[in-house]
Amino acid sequence: MSHEIAVAERATPAELLSRSRDLLRGSEYETAIALARQAAEEGDPATRAEALWILANCRRLQDDYPQALEYALGAAELFREIGHPGGEARARSEVARALLSSGETDEALKESLSALELAEAGADLSAHVTAMTALGNVYLSMQQLDLALQVCERGAEMARLIGDEIANAALQDTVACVLMNDSEVARGRGDQTEAVRLALAAAERSHTAMLIAREHGHRRNEACALANLAEALGSAGQPARALELLDTWRIDPARDSAYTITHHLDTRGGICLALERYEEAITLFTQALGVAESKSAAMMFCEHLSAAYERSGDFAAALDAHKKYHLLYRQVASEAALRTARVAAVRMETEQAKASAERERLRADGLLRMSLEDPLTGLANRRHLDDELATGVAGRAIALVDVDHFKRVNDSFSHQIGDEVLRALGGLLRPACRAGDVAARYGGEEFAVLFRGLSTAEAAAAAERIRRTVEDYDWAGVAPGLAVTVSVGVAVGGESALPAGLLSLADRRLYEAKNAGRNRVHISTSVS
């Protein structure tokens, strides 16, 4: 700290901000706060706004959510005054994160959507990634898992595009959380195989996030991803490996916030509970409750503690923990109402300065685009394709394109390479479309191309061009030794008057192409 102060005495406000950001990434929060405060005192309004944003980040990561909220709102107001929509978007995202951590999900959703609109209006990709990170976490908290996955996948793609690996890692880890929730849903309906598959997919994402965070020295993100990785492994039937992994992390109370500490305690407790090591689980949940960073977090630990006591046969203690949960629930609800009123008052002036109709238009356009686009490939999604088919199939042809032996790609090269294959295939299909054609990701490794105004013979030729383009593509650039081919089934509008019938024909021919040896096109025998 003394060294940083000595450096700060000779530094410009811009240099102070840069060093403060580096310290924030390294979880050196108090020193980062000191330098950001100095930058705010000495700098111009733009510097003060950036400094407040850093202070908001630090305080949230230290679990001081009311202070984080105050700094973030101040930053948003300053950015608005100087006409910096990207900066305001980042500040609004931080407001959303602070609100979400305080248990105010509805307000967090409003702020994250507002941040996304501002980022789009300012054409600021970095702010866009920040807003999507906040929005993805809000959707996850709301259990809107499909939306959370779409937003986070799109955000991760954008983060990689602009070279923000720290944001990419955070989004990959959030995707892991979404997959774990999907795993629990599958387990709840009795599909153990699917539950394990999803848990392992989550583990792969968290492992990637952990390695990226470690490489870039982001301690908090590394700790979070490691805990999520351990949880996923435990859920996938590898509890011993999960506990070994947790043992590799050494908590540093001087650098790790209560959130990080309780996250590890609670994760270890959950694994012990699954192993029927009830006393250990009770001890760990009790420790987490003792240092809970918020009443919302304490509620969760009480719930876990109650379950542990119940499974151990101590029903009186389970009831006591459950009562504490309900007491905290009432307190959280009361405090949330007060904070909501405070946030609403601060937001009022800002919202009056905006054109309400324009904001609603931006929101509608952004959400509509998101709802019709596949986040991994950037192509149209199944909903978009269905909407196009619903307008009529006359004069159209559809080609269903499926990657041959895609499971082998995932198994032999990794799911990450599998995703790269799908992205590359999307890039190959896009140029195959003329104005009015639609290329879509149909589901999994299956794609569809909807052509306008092609005869059966022309549709067959177009499908063959796609097959040959995929076969000739240099897949070694994606992964050494990788080769990819596709099978294609084609149907034309004159063969069926209904979209479902046309899709069924194309699907049947795709199946025939697979059975005939793959890497081929099947179409009606009456080609004309």
pLDDT digits (tens, 9 = 90+) for 228-238: 999 999 999 99
pTM recorded for the entire structure: 0.59
DSSP annotation of 162: T
The SS3 assignment for 404 reads coil
The SS3 assignment for 397 reads strand
The SS3 assignment for 483 reads coil
Write down the H helix ranges in 353-414: 356-371, 382-390, 406-413
| Closest listed residue to residue 481, CA positions, set 525, 388, 417, 390 | 417
Residues lower than pLDDT 50 in the chain: 1-6, 350, 353-362, 364-365, 368, 527-528
**527 Cβ neighbours under 8 A, 6+ residues apart:** 456, 457, 460
Q: What pLDDT, on a 0 to 100 scale, did the predictor assign at position 359?
A: 47
Q: What pLDDT, on a 0 to 100 scale, did the predictor assign at position 230?
A: 94
**125 Cβ neighbours under 8 A, 6+ residues apart:** 158, 161, 162
Q: What pLDDT, on a 0 to 100 scale, did the predictor assign at position 513?
A: 94
Give the strand pairing for 486-492 and 438-443: unpaired
Domain extents in the chain: 11-142, 163-249, 250-343, 382-522
Q: Are 120 and 101 in contact (CB under 8 A)?
A: no
How far apart, in whole angstroms, are the C-alpha atoms of residue 41 and residue 193? Answer: 58
Residue 349: both structure tokens together: 């002036």
- Is the domain spanning 382-522 CATH 3.40.50.300? The answer is no
Q: What pLDDT, on a 0 to 100 scale, did the predictor assign at position 358?
A: 45
How far apart, in whole angstroms, are the C-alpha atoms of residue 451 and residue 432? Answer: 10
The SS3 assignment for 391 reads coil
CA angle 28/29/35 to nearest 5° reads 95
The CA-atom distances, in angstroms, between 33 and each of 167, 189, 522 are 21, 48, 64
CATH topology of domain 250-343: 1.25.40
Q: Does 11-142 match 250-343 in CATH topology?
A: yes
| Closest listed residue to residue 65, CA positions, set 25, 94, 107 | 94
Radius of gyration of the chain (CA): 26
**85 Cβ neighbours under 8 A, 6+ residues apart:** 79, 118, 119, 121, 122, 124, 127
CATH no. of 11-142: 1.25.40.10
pLDDT in tens, 72-84: 999 998 998 888 9
The number of helix segments (H) and strand segments (E) in the chain equals 23, 5
